[in-house]
A and B are shown apart, each in its own frame.
Chain A
């Protein structure tokens, strides 16, 4: 293959749809580790959506159990998202004092405490 870096513009000036190009940019530019985190985030989001749908469609009794299960997903999502932003090399400037290990330790502590409250409220 020619090692020329030619800006190859596609013939037909029909750019891929914004979603497709976003997706392409994402999957090209994100490291495996971050994608690893993102999969977990998707998982948590789906799990939360299903519980929310159950609460609306079927019954919201017992409400405390709904809150516990739903906030388990939401809280874990928040903690994982903050882990992702702290571990992302692109944010190294913002988190100069925080090593990835420190971020992970915070993530673990936060998660354990979250799970404690969740199981306390789960009933």
Chain B
């Protein structure tokens, strides 16, 4: 990412340093925990090797030598860092490498106990490993080494309030399911069944054929009419009226009913007594 630009910059800047640094015989080894070598190859600076995979307990060793100019004497630079960069999370971890005074360096990474600077990784992370060598008296050197694939780490513990700083998951309320209504046809059928007892009633009553001599007696009709009015008022209340209104009208009708009822029942009583 940055090293090609650095190479270009180095070409532009007038060289005030005595010499450039060079990397001699870099190589890496991957060993299993019991010491067997899984992979060992030199690191080519021109052609990138295939990604290096490490298991949870494997050990990676990197060795190289830092020299002045290509093939010159070994030097100990101020800065020799291995940089592990995870391009998915954008985090990087820098690990210093011990370089002896004649430039020889050796670095060991044990996946069972990685250094604390090692970045956290997700299952798809591919770490880009590069070597950063800086010195007060030489031109700096940055070299991409290889790609490293390691087991995923524990997720980083974030601050509990961090979640508020990003959009949070959408919550939809699950409503009670709508009541299922039976088909209107069934309800209609049962409504007809509810009306069926009328047949029985009319049948029974006609069988009895009670005598109704006073059906249209003028003293009795108002009362029955009042009762009819009451029922109509209640049906009207069912469809339209408010409670206050129905109580008001009902009270009015009630007063009427008292009078008509008194008349009608007195009449009925007289008729009953008179017929004996």
Is A108 a contact of B227 with CB atoms below 8 Å? yes
Q: Which of A88-102 contact B (CB under 8 A)?
A: 99-102
Residues of B within 8 A of A104 (CB): 265, 268
A58 to B183, CA, bound (A): 10
The reply on A59 being an interface residue by CB < 8 A is yes
Is A39 a contact of B197 with CB atoms below 8 Å? no
A62 to B194, CA, bound (A): 17
A44 to B265, CA, bound (A): 25
Number of A residues whose C-beta is below 8 Å from B? 32
The reply on B8 being an interface residue by CB < 8 A is no
Number of B residues whose C-beta is below 8 Å from A? 34
Is B190 a contact of A54 with CB atoms below 8 Å? yes
Cβ distance A65 to chain B, nearest Cβ, rounded Å: 11
Q: Which of B181, B243, B269, B272 contacts A61 (CB 8 A)?
A: B181
Q: Which of B169-202 contact A (CB under 8 A)?
A: 179-182, 186-187, 190, 193-194, 196-198, 200-201
Q: A42-B204, A101-B269, A119-B238 are in contact. Are A61 and B193 (CB under 8 A)?
A: no
Chain A contact residues: over half helix, strand or loop, or mixed? Answer: helix
A122 to B261, CA, bound (A): 28
Cβ distance B254 to chain A, nearest Cβ, rounded Å: 8
Q: Which of A36, A46, A99, A122 contacts B197 (CB 8 A)?
A: A46
Q: B residues engaging A (CB < 8 A)?
A: 179-182, 186-187, 190, 193-194, 196-198, 200-201, 204-205, 208, 210, 227, 230-231, 234-235, 237-238, 243, 246, 250, 261, 265-266, 268-269, 272
> Other CB < 8 Å A-B pairs besides A39-B205, A40-B201, 5 of them?
A33-B210, A54-B190, A61-B180, A115-B234, A119-B235
